[in-house]
Structure 1
């Protein structure tokens, strides 16, 4: 076992993070390298640039006057392909090793049962245990085991020698595969991070979001709506904590920062740390709540851009989540209060239904080079519909 060579071994100095895209958090696919030296998936970079209408590096923010011609970095693509194949092959070899170890363990148990026999009768057609013992002693090749002095020619002695050899093989299997298992599991967790259209894997299972409302108290923040972004179809309460669909269009001063649809952002922007806030949705039949960058296009809809994320109640008994411009249907129950947990240290966004017991609705990764603002959409133009940022209960 010491000479095992799987041919596609992953170098110890190479980790999946070395070949990862910070945008999708998966292995590089069709990698492109910017003049600053940072590399990303081409489609991820084009999607981010298209959403923000900027041509800067998401890592160092070095910009360009115009969109660059993105060419594949063939060396990085080759490394990413080899890493992926090696990781899969390594897991397959580990699986075979575990199966082999289980088989040897079974053999050890059989031989120990043979050894426990006080009297071994002579070999005969009806004596299966003795026949098996003789087969071990006569036909099994144990050349890999270490030689022993004074091997006995008696049946009991031969079984004792076989047991010794099997235990040595068992120990070598444990050394070669049991110690490698945690590394393989860690590598496979990394490979499974890439988001899909149907679900979104957790970014860090070792540090899950808090499970009770009281756990959020230390991260609760005070929010207020930003009038610069407020749609002319909406109006805000005097305390800037309730937004309502107006009965008639409001004559706000025109600004390129104002949404053309029934949307509004909060004044507060977050680029680090953990934040939590709650939104009362009981007085709104059609809504979406989430986060977005200030650069989100003012004629686009929350969740339909690569720099905005949300959950949405359609008013037709359907709750959905929008992440990476893709919809995930969550169920048919409307949450009366939505809790939003933004963990920028772990690049994670989670939505909860806040009631007597808090229920996780959806969790997904967030990323980007711009700070994120709490975002709201009241659609359907139903006058009087409102959303309220409510104080967090301790």
Structure 2
């Protein structure tokens, strides 16, 4: 009965994790609403310009000094010690995992071609050396690797079959490689409409090469705009993939879920996994594209809160990103198509400029305390300005 006072509790690291840094709580602080965070993470978020409120539920926090939650600290230290990590209060945040570059289809084909060429050379060498193994080709020989008896003639026939098969594969790979490496000016997207049609090519020209698939093709989605969050100054196409600035009276009923500014969410929300989508921005003068928590206040602007992240273009010629309510200027090059890569397995968000291939503009950490929605802001308010969710190349 000595252990009768002990109560078994099964905890995982996620149960005592901070939704800002995604690590075990360090110096935990609990707000009046009941949500807990690392003290340093909370202070850093508020110093970045975010309102003094809970990052999860947005309930205002009093100006009183933050106090440590001793019980949560004790539990976090015990869980950390059980995992062999040392006291949670003394641990530093883990460094982010390295980003592994994905190989393109062309690179894979090139590697396969090189390997097959080596196999062809080896097979030819073995075939040439075959008669030297003995003066009588019909004589049975014992393999050194195993006691199985094979004849020299049978070995030569097998080598010929292998060589034929390898040369066949080699030709196919070379044809695939030359198709992949066709000049850019012959790609389907850059040819005039008359030439890019499925009819015969023009005299003196060759068939155009297909567009290269996106490196994110297996995670590509095509989300749709959410009418329930749509600002009254915007309208959405029938397929819910184009949003346009409109000053006409809309037929959408008002609700507190609608944005007061010209912003809109997508219906899809993500709390795990990996997703990628693309947005055509060339028909809008001033825009912001990103992700936001479904709990984002409807009177706030995208990127200006601790639960929203975006890349933003201003017609004056400035491209920037907004994270943790802070702006980082990227330059003056405007992307015609923006690719958004949301990797909630690694806690990463990345923005790409998409042309013939994806070019990374910015990558940052992202926290999903609540499901994240694709989010958009058309702040130019010029009639006809529009953003289009396009299908990624697959």
User: Which bin holds the TM-score, normalised by the shorter protein?
Assistant: 0.5 to 0.7
- Corresponding residue number in structure 1 for 2:67: 71
Matched, 1:388 2:388: yes
- Map 1:97-116 → 2, pairs under 5 A: none
Distance in 1, matches of 2:45 and 2:329, equals 27
Which of the numbers 53, 56, 68 marks the counterpart of 2:57? 53
* Contact 1:213 1:354 (8 Å CA) reproduced: no
Cα RMSD (Å) of the superposition? Answer: 3.8
- Map 1:347-358 → 2, pairs under 5 A: 347-358=347-358
- Corresponding residue number in structure 1 for 2:21: 24
CA, structure 1 residues 33+244, in 2 after alignment: closer, same or farther (shift >3 Å)? Answer: closer
* Contact 1:210 1:216 (8 Å CA) reproduced: no
Three-state SS of the structure 2 residue aligned to 1:215 is coil
CA, structure 1 residues 209+236, in 2 after alignment: closer, same or farther (shift >3 Å)? Answer: farther
- Corresponding residue number in structure 1 for 2:38: 40
- Corresponding residue number in structure 1 for 2:312: 312
State the shift of 1:21 in Å.
Answer: 4.7
Distance in 2, matches of 1:318 and 1:307, equals 23
- Corresponding residue number in structure 2 for 1:118: none
Distance in 2, matches of 1:389 and 1:206, equals 26
- Corresponding residue number in structure 1 for 2:277: 277
Aligned length: 252
In structure 1, list runs of 5 or more residues that go unmatched: 1-16, 56-65, 78-189, 194-202
CA, structure 1 residues 296+33, in 2 after alignment: closer, same or farther (shift >3 Å)? Answer: closer
- Map 1:215-230 → 2, pairs under 5 A: 215-230=215-230
Distance in 2, matches of 1:70 and 1:387, equals 43
- Corresponding residue number in structure 1 for 2:83: none
Distance in 2, matches of 1:340 and 1:309, equals 11
- Corresponding residue number in structure 1 for 2:178: none
- Corresponding residue number in structure 2 for 1:344: 344
Matched, 1:241 2:241: yes
CA, structure 1 residues 229+326, in 2 after alignment: closer, same or farther (shift >3 Å)? Answer: same
Matched, 1:205 2:98: yes
Distance in 2, matches of 1:243 and 1:37, equals 35
* Contact 1:23 1:44 (8 Å CA) reproduced: no
